Amino acid sequence: MRRHLWSVVLFCLMSHALAQQPKEVTLRLRYAPGQTLLYDIGLDGKVTVISEIGVATDLQFQGKLKQEQQVEEVADDGTATLLVTVNGMVQVSMGGNPAPGTPASQQSNEMTIPATKWRLKIAPNGRIVEMKPVTAEKASDGKEKITPQPFLQDPFQALTLGAGAMSLLPAILPDKPVKVGDSWDLTANAPLPMGGGRIPVALKGSGKLLALQQEDNRPVAITEMRLEVPELGDAIVKAMPLKEMGIDMQAKGGTKTVGKHWLDLSQGLLMRSEVTTETQMFTLIRMPENAGGGVMSLQSRTTIKTTMRLVEVRAVTSRQ
Could you report the per-residue pLDDT of 91-106, keeping only the tens digit for each? 988 765 555 555 555 5
**What's the whole-model pTM score?**
0.77
Greatest Cα pair distance, the chain, in angstroms, is 102
pLDDT at 203: 81
Count the neighbouring beta carbons within 10 Å of the beta carbon of residue 166.
25
Q: Helices 155-166 and 232-239 sit at what angle, rounded to 10 degrees?
A: 120
What lies within 8 Å, CB to CB, of 99 at 6+ separation is none
For residue 280, which of 52, 54, 48, 95 has the smallest C-alpha distance?
Answer: 48
CA 121 centroid distance within chain: 15
| pLDDT of residue 21 exceeding 70 | no
What lies within 8 Å, CB to CB, of 87 at 6+ separation is 65, 66, 113, 114, 115, 116
Higher pLDDT, 210 or 57: 210
Rounded CA gap, 166 and 205, in Å? 13
**pLDDT tens across 42-61, in order?**
989 898 888 777 777 888 98
Rounded CA gap, 166 and 163, in Å? 5
Higher pLDDT, 133 or 197: 133
Rounded CA gap, 126 and 128, in Å? 6
The average pLDDT across 253-269 equals 93
Domain ranges for the chain, please list them. Answer: 25-314
Q: Which amino acid is at 266?
A: S
Rounded CA gap, 175 and 197, in Å? 27
CATH architecture of the domain 25-314 equals Roll (2.30)
Rounded CA gap, 289 and 5, in Å? 95
Angle, CA 138 vertex, CA 134 and CA 142 arms, to 5°: 115
Q: Which amino acid is at 295?
A: V
Higher pLDDT, 13 or 63: 63
Alpha helices in 116-218 (DSSP H): 155-166
pLDDT at 197: 53
Do the Cβ atoms of 306 and 43 come closer than 8 Å?
yes
| pLDDT of residue 153 exceeding 50 | no
